Chain A
Amino acid sequence: QKEVEQNSGPLSVPEGAIASLNCTYSDRGSQSFFWYRQYSGKSPELIMFIFSNGDKQDGRFTAQLNKASQYVSLLIRDSQPSDSATYLCAVNERGANSKLTFGKGITLSVRP
């Protein structure tokens, strides 16, 4: 059974701080990795995807991937109260059209 673990949380940070969200996965054949943001009562919204080892930055968001350690993380710089949401890590083993396995999510609260 392929698993995606997001065990840390809930997470609370002050406004302007860096929020670090972590995720591990069990399938070494995994090829693509996604971070979705989900506000309460809403559907998941894609914020980042990464396929290669290393860092990928998009504005205040940086995704980090380490395939050897089977670890993917999301850093949110200059956190804002509007970043308060549940962040879902998702893994796809064979490409974008295969099924995604999601973690249970980490709830982030940014304190004003």
Chain B
Amino acid sequence: DAGVTQSPTHLIKTRGQQVTLRCSPKSGHDTVSWYQQALGQGPQFIFQYYEEEERQRGNFPDRFSGHQFPNYSSELNVNALLLGDSALYLCASSLNSGALNSPLHFGNGTRLTVT
């Protein structure tokens, strides 16, 4: 049973460039959330996708956008990269059952470095 998979694992980009990160949820999960984790900090919620629509969004600028595909996989796009966007980007999947015991399962993350 495959868990949450993310690609690539590491990425180096230059300021001003654009980046796309990819995520495949755990088998049976239909909801994908994206988090940004800066060094020494806890993960910060970016947004969540369900039924191919953005359902909730955290306090991130419009440079951060996403997409969910019919197979539940998801992409995170970041435009006009800033040095401060350097972080570990985590994808988490869950099942939209509404049950309290349906917690998030995290992928291994993509380490983005902006130079």
Contact = CB atoms under 8 A, between A and B. Distances in A.
A and B: partners?
yes
Interface of A: 4, 6, 31-32, 34, 36, 42-46, 49, 51, 88, 90, 95-105
Interface of B: 31, 33, 35, 40-45, 48, 50, 56, 58, 88, 90, 94-109
B99 A96 contact: yes
Given A104-B42, A105-B42, A46 B103 contact: yes
A65 B105 CA distance: 22
Given A95-B98, A96-B94, A98-B56, A34 B45 contact: no
Given A43-B90, A105-B41, 12 more contacts: A32-B100, A42-B108, A43-B107, A44-B90, A88-B42, A95-B100, A96-B98, A99-B33, A100-B33, A100-B45, A101-B45, A103-B42
B100 A96 contact: yes
B58 A102 contact: no
Nearest to A102: B42
Given A44-B43, A88-B43, A102-B44, A96 B90 contact: no
Contacts of A104: 40-42
Contacts of A102: 35, 42-44
Interface of chain B: mostly helix, strand, loop or mixed: loop
B100 A31 contact: yes
A99 B56 contact: yes
Nearest to B3: A43
Contact of B94 (A31, A45, A97, A101): A97
Contacts of B33: 99-100
A105 B38 CA distance: 12
A43 B104 contact: no
Contacts of B96: 97
Q: A-B pairs with the 3 shortest C-beta distances?
A: A102-B42, A96-B102, A99-B45
A105 B104 CA distance: 17
A104 B37 CA distance: 10
Nearest to A99: B45
